[in-house]
Structure 1
Amino acid sequence: MPSTTRERILDAALELIQQQGFGGTTVTDIEELAGLSPGSGSFYRHFRSKEQVFREVLERELARAREHRRDFERGPVADPQEALTRRLVQQLDYLTKVRPLMNLLAREHGRFPDLTRRIRSVLVDQGIAEEAEHLGRDLPGEPAHDDPHALLAVVVSALTGYELSRGFFGRPPADIAPDRFAAALAALVTGRPGRE
């Protein structure tokens, strides 16, 4: 299905703002990358301003992130450590998929604090609450889980650090593959040694 002009503008804005920042991206740049005649005013047939297109880019990427999160494994598990490892691998994949949103937030978080707060609430706070519920169900009675929200904050920080390192350096830390990283993190969370 061919993309609409509006979608092409959003895609162009996403790409350019990640590369050049909000202030360094012009409407003419967006028009050109979207395949419109630069300086023709075509942009303004779809958006009132560069700020509006940026806000809509963030909203679209947030909706995409929510959609990716719906695919996470849920339900009863036979082996909690294996299930946790699979979910952590899913979360690493999720972080790769939401990388454009992370890039925008890292670059422009101070410019739109209302959007930053909302995205943090949806992606981080709600994500931690959801995963804490699953952790409590999958690993009941584990002494390390007296404070599941704090534990999940540590896990999210580890996953985010791994993904940022992959993005920044072009490879995972110590070349540890995502499945190995997830298995080691799951072993730490469960307090059980990793499997051979």
Structure 2
Amino acid sequence: MAESLRLFADRGYAATSVAEIEAAAGLSPGAGGLYRHFRSKEEVLSAAIREHIERTRQQVSDVLDQAVQYEGRPLEVRLRMTCQAGLAKMREEQDLIRVLFRDLDQFPNLVAEMREGIVNPLYDGIATWLSQQPEFADADEDWAAIASILGGAVVNYWLANESMYEPPTRIDEKRFVAGWARLGLGLVHLDRAPSSS
């Protein structure tokens, strides 16, 4: 599955033959070894996506469970760690993301599985994490919307860097992470008084 996903990311789904997948996976090319495990090339892609979905679910659960051990650190440090984890996840999923943007419009059911199995759980995880920070305990915020903005910034930064071969306005990752954390810190200081309108 990993080799097929790498080939789909590099060459495109349609341009990758079953024989090429077999060769990359250490099977005899053209001998039908892939069909002993999968009925079709599409089934290989589906299985690869489902494997990534399961791994992402476990990672989100693990990160939320482990977050307790970092509660004693300053919020800015915790925010930086969260941003860095998001960028690391994007790097980890780079082949899957490339396949998504290149080929998955052919497979709307797989797009839906990715959205519900990977993308939404990641944003939900950010929202849950934010809402659990002690500094935000009294905040009545729309954490899902805030997670969408902060998470979207991470996704956009990574995608721009990947597709244009350098980060937006040449802001390196260290500066991006610092800026992202500063935005998160701003949530602590929001004026919570109701508007006078």
Same fold (TM over 0.5): yes
- Give the direction of change, closer, same or farther, for the CA distance of 1:34–1:187 in structure 2 (3 Å limit): same
Q: Does residue 148 of the first structure (1) align with residue 143 of the second (2)?
A: yes
Question: For the residues of structure 1 that align with 2:35 and 2:176, how far apart are their CA atoms?
Answer: 46
Cα deviation, residue 68, structure 1: 4.2
Please, which of 156, 159, 183 is the counterpart of residue 178 of structure 2? 183
User: What is the aligned counterpart of 2:161 among 162, 166, 180?
Assistant: 166
Unaligned runs of 5+ in 1: 1-9
Whether the 8 Å CA contact 2:12–2:102 is kept in 1: the answer is yes
Q: Which residue of 2 aligns with 1:45?
A: 36
For residue 105 of structure 1, the aligned residue among 87, 100, 107 is 100
Which of 6, 13, 21 lines up with 2:12 in the alignment? 21
SS at match of 1:81: helix
Does the Cα contact within 8 Å between 2:13 and 2:99 map onto a contact in 1? Answer: no
The one-letter amino acid paired with 1:74 is A
Question: Match of 2:56?
Answer: 65
Q: Quick one: which amino acid aligns to residue 147 of structure 2?
A: L
Letter in 1 for 2:143: P
**CA 1:164–1:142: 2 relative to 1, 3 Å:** farther
Higher relative contact order (Cα pairs below 8 Å, separated by 6+ residues): 2
User: Which is further off, 57-66 or 156-165?
Assistant: 57-66
CA separation of 1:148/1:53 partners in 2, compared to 1, >3 Å: closer, same or farther?
Answer: same
1:78 CA displacement: 4.2
Runs of 4+ that moved beyond 6 A: none
Given the alignment of the two structures, is residue 74 of structure 1 paired with residue 67 of structure 2, yes or no? Answer: yes
Task: Please give the secondary structure, in 2, of the residue aligned with 1:109.
Answer: helix
Residues 91-100 or 68-77, more deviating = 68-77
Over aligned residue pairs, what C-alpha RMSD do you find? 2.4
State the TM-score, normalizing by the size of structure 2.
0.80
Are 1:55 and 2:46 an aligned pair? Answer: yes
Give the share of equivalent positions with the same residue, in percent.
28
